[in-house]
A and B are shown apart, each in its own frame.
Chain A
Amino acid sequence: MAWHALFFYFFAILACGFALAVVFAANVVRMAFYLILSLGATAGLFFLAGAEFVGSMQLMMYVGGTLVLLVFGVMLTAQGPWVSIRTSGGDWVLAALVGGSLLAVLVPTVLRIDAAAPQPTAAKEKVASETAVPVPAQPTATRIGLGLVGVPTADHSGYLLPFEAISIHLLVVLVGAAYLARAKRRAKPLAAEEDEL
């Protein structure tokens, strides 16, 4: 258990530290790099929580897909004066005030959650400690796959409809993004054709 705590604090400090670095970096290229490291450390936290499928998806889709997209955006637009845009001091003060008060609300609330949760009674805890401990950890990928094709099991309901909805959503969004981002060089010839018609 000591190793678990050690790795947790390692990944947690990496994730939070690089998230802070994203906030305080002025250069957009460095911000993208810090974001990659922060999200990669978050994948480590997911592995530690026993969510190995979500952790690997975080690495493959988030770090490998979404952030590569962001880095391409940075490379396309980071030219000359737009690499680092400074924020004025007044904005920093205001943002630190809002962010600090949000953190001051969230952290004490979160720290009380273990005390607020209903505790197991002594009898139940005895039964749980006798029965639950020897059960080996099951891999989650099989259960997640069964849930996505709509097989309800003991610990989750079927997810076929949300899976289909999000698949169509992703397809439509990617087609729309490709349509939006394409180069509009045909604008003038098309207008000329319309004039001819």
Chain B
Amino acid sequence: MLAVAFQEIGIAHYLVVGAIMFVCGAVCMATKRNALGVLMGIELVLNGANINFVAFGSEFLNRNPQYGIGLDGQMIALFVIVLAAAEAAVALAIVLNFYNNHATVDVDRADELKG
């Protein structure tokens, strides 16, 4: 595993960074009780996925260009960025509504739908 660290920078390096950011975002979503902290976890997860898309689409990292996905990776990354902006806007509106109604942002207090 350490041998990778001394190789030329390739796709694997980017994918490791993406995996670490993804796991950080997942743990953040699972542990934070602040609703805004959960939102930040979502941003981290989307960003980790974006790193993977850009790495697979990059012509500098791919050692065998015949099997690369070309510019499609960057396109999908752009779409993910736009979707993240839209998602953050709606989720923030919901959090603000929740805060106005309950005077808290603790997601553990949002248990009114519990059967």
Contacts and interface: CB of A to CB of B under 8 A. Distances in A.
Interface residues of A: mostly helix, strand, loop or mixed?
A: helix
Interface residues of B: mostly helix, strand, loop or mixed?
A: helix
B55 to A, nearest CB: 6
Given A92-B31, A114-B12, A170 B50 contact: no
A111 B1 contact: yes
A67 B85 CA distance: 9
A111 B18 CA distance: 12
Interface in B1-50: 1, 4, 8-17, 19-28, 30-34, 36-37, 39-41, 43-44, 47, 50
Interface of A: 1, 4-5, 8, 12, 15-16, 19-20, 22-23, 28, 31-32, 35, 38-39, 42, 45-46, 48-51, 53-54, 57-58, 61-62, 65-67, 69-70, 72-74, 76-77, 82, 85-87, 91-92, 94-96, 98-99, 102-103, 106-108, 110-111, 113-114, 117-120, 124, 128, 132, 137, 140, 143-144, 147-148, 155-157, 159, 162, 166, 169-170, 173-174, 176-178, 180-181, 184
Closest 8 CB pairs of A and B: A155-B70, A180-B93, A181-B93, A19-B24, A110-B15, A173-B86, A106-B19, A49-B58
21 contacts: A4-B9, A12-B17, A19-B20, A28-B37, A38-B44, A49-B14, A49-B55, A50-B60, A51-B57, A51-B58, A54-B77, A54-B78, A58-B50, A70-B36, A73-B36, A73-B92, A110-B16, A114-B63, A128-B65, A144-B78, A147-B75
